[in-house]
Structure 1
Amino acid sequence: MILTETLAILKACLEKKLLTVLFQVMNTIHFGMRNIRKTLKDRMQYIRLHTPEYILEIEHLCSQESESQATQYDSIYYNGLLSNKAAINAAKNTLNMAKMVAEGKVQNGFANVRPPGHHATPHVPNGFCLYNNIAITAKYLLENKLTERILIVDYDVHHGQGTQRIFYETDQVLYFSIHRYEYGKFWPNLEESSFNHVGSGKGTGYNINVPLNQTGLTDYDYLSIILNVLLPVAYEGEMNITPAFYAHLIHMLGGLAGGKMLVVLEGGYFLPSLAEGALQTVKALLNDPSPPLEYHKNINSSVIDSINNVKVALRPYWKCFNQVDPISPITDIVRFDRFNYHVAVHRYFGVVPEPPFPTSGGNPLNSESLFSMHDSKVVYLRGKYNSLQNIVGYMENIHSAGHEPGPGLRIQEVQKRVQDIISKFIEYELLKELKPVEFHHLTHSADYLEMLWSSGPKPQPDLYWDTKSRKACRFSCAVLCQLALEIKRSSIAHGVGIVRPPGHHAKSNSGGGFCLVNNVAVSANYAIDCLGYKKVLIIDFDVHHGDGTQELTYSKDNVMYISLHRFDGGKFFPKDPAGNYMYVGEEKSAGYNLNVAFENAKMSDADYLYTWIKIVLPLAYSFNPDIIFVSAGFDAGIHDPLGHYNVHPETFGHLIQLVKSVAPVILALEGGYNHTTTSLGMVNCVKALLGHPLPFPTIGDVKREAALAMAQSISAIKQYWPIMEVNKKLDPVIRSQSDFDDATKQMSKIAITL
Structure 2
Amino acid sequence: MEKTLIVYDDVFLEHLTGPEHPESPDRLRAIMKGLREFKLLENPKIKLEKPRKAGLDELCLVHSEEYVDFMESFCRKGGGVLGTWGGGVVCSRRSFEVACYAVGGALKAVDEVLNGRFRNSIALIRPPGHHASTELPYGFCIFNNVAVAAKYLMEVKGVSRIAILDVDAHHGNGTQEVFEDTSKVLYVSFHQDRIFPGTGSIEEVGRGEGEGFKINFPLPPYSNEEIYLKALNEIVAPILDQFKPAYIFVSAGFDAHHLDPLTGLGLSSLGYVEIYRWIMEKAEKYTGGRFTAVLEGGYDCEALGKAVPSVVATMAGLTIEVDDPPQKMPENLRNAALRVLEKVWKTIANYWTL
Q: Quick check: 1:312 aligned with 2:346?
A: yes
CA contact (8 A) 2:83 2:138 kept: no
Q: Distance in 1 between matches of 2:117 and 2:148?
A: 20
TM-aligned CA deviation for residue 290 of structure 1: 7.8
Question: What's the TM-score once normalised by structure 2's chain length?
Answer: 0.78
CA contact (8 A) 2:62 2:147 kept: yes
| 1:14 alignment counterpart | 40
Cα deviation code 1:33-91 (max 9, x no counterpart): xxxxx9xx9433455321111100111222334657545993210111x0111111000
Q: Quick check: 1:85 aligned with 2:97?
A: yes
Change (3 A) 1:90 1:66: closer
Q: Quick check: 1:251 aligned with 2:299?
A: no
Q: Secondary structure at the match of 1:303?
A: helix
| 2:239 alignment counterpart | 233
Gapped regions of structure 1 (runs ≥ 5): 31-37, 322-754
Q: Answer with 296-305 or 196-205: which moved more.
A: 296-305
**Greater RCO, CA 8 A, separation 6+:** 2
Q: Secondary structure at the match of 2:344?
A: helix
- Pairing partner for 1:294 from 295, 307, 326: 326
Q: Distance in 1 between matches of 2:319 and 2:95?
A: 38
Letter in 2 for 1:228: E
- Pairing partner for 1:138 from 150, 158, 161: 150
Question: What's the TM-score once normalised by structure 1's chain length?
Answer: 0.38
Q: Distance in 2 between matches of 1:290 and 1:198?
A: 38
Q: Distance in 2 between matches of 1:175 and 1:46?
A: 20
| 2:295 alignment counterpart | 265
CA contact (8 A) 1:247 1:290 kept: no
The RMSD of aligned alpha carbons is 2.5
- Pairing partner for 1:198 from 185, 193, 205: 205
Q: Distance in 2 between matches of 1:144 and 1:60?
A: 28
Larger Rg: 1
Q: Distance in 2 between matches of 1:318 and 1:289?
A: 35
| 2:198 alignment counterpart | 189
TM-aligned CA deviation for residue 163 of structure 1: 0.1
Letter in 2 for 1:63: R
Letter in 1 for 2:40: L
Change (3 A) 1:65 1:72: farther
Q: Distance in 2 between matches of 1:116 and 1:207?
A: 21
CA contact (8 A) 1:20 1:285 kept: no
CA contact (8 A) 1:20 1:107 kept: no
Cα deviation code 1:551-580 (max 9, x no counterpart): xxxxxxxxxxxxxxxxxxxxxxxxxxxxxx
Q: Secondary structure at the match of 2:89?
A: coil
Q: Distance in 2 between matches of 1:252 and 1:73?
A: 31
Letter in 2 for 1:243: S
TM-aligned CA deviation for residue 203 of structure 1: 1.2
Q: Distance in 1 between matches of 2:83 and 2:71?
A: 11
5 Å-filtered alignment, 1:206-605, equals: 206-212=213-219, 214-237=220-243, 238-255=264-281, 256=283, 257-289=287-319, 294=326, 296=328, 300-319=334-353, 321=354
TM-aligned CA deviation for residue 254 of structure 1: 1.3
CA contact (8 A) 2:82 2:90 kept: no
| 1:52 alignment counterpart | 65
CA contact (8 A) 1:99 1:141 kept: no
Q: Distance in 2 between matches of 1:174 and 1:97?
A: 20
Letter in 2 for 1:107: R
CA contact (8 A) 1:216 1:239 kept: yes
Cα deviation code 1:490-524 (max 9, x no counterpart): xxxxxxxxxxxxxxxxxxxxxxxxxxxxxxxxxxx
Q: Distance in 2 between matches of 1:85 and 1:22?
A: 21
TM-aligned CA deviation for residue 313 of structure 1: 1.1
Q: Distance in 1 between matches of 2:39 and 2:241?
A: 30
Q: Distance in 1 between matches of 2:81 and 2:46?
A: 43
TM-aligned CA deviation for residue 23 of structure 1: 4.6
Letter in 2 for 1:103: N
Q: Quick check: 1:43 aligned with 2:23?
A: no
May I ask how many residue pairs the two structures share in their alignment?
300
CA contact (8 A) 1:23 1:113 kept: no
Letter in 2 for 1:220: E
Q: Answer with 145-154 or 276-285: which moved more.
A: 145-154
Letter in 1 for 2:274: H
Tell me the percent identity.
28
TM-aligned CA deviation for residue 102 of structure 1: 2.1
5 Å-filtered alignment, 1:685-700, equals: none
Cα deviation code 1:392-424 (max 9, x no counterpart): xxxxxxxxxxxxxxxxxxxxxxxxxxxxxxxxx
Q: Distance in 1 between matches of 2:185 and 2:111?
A: 17
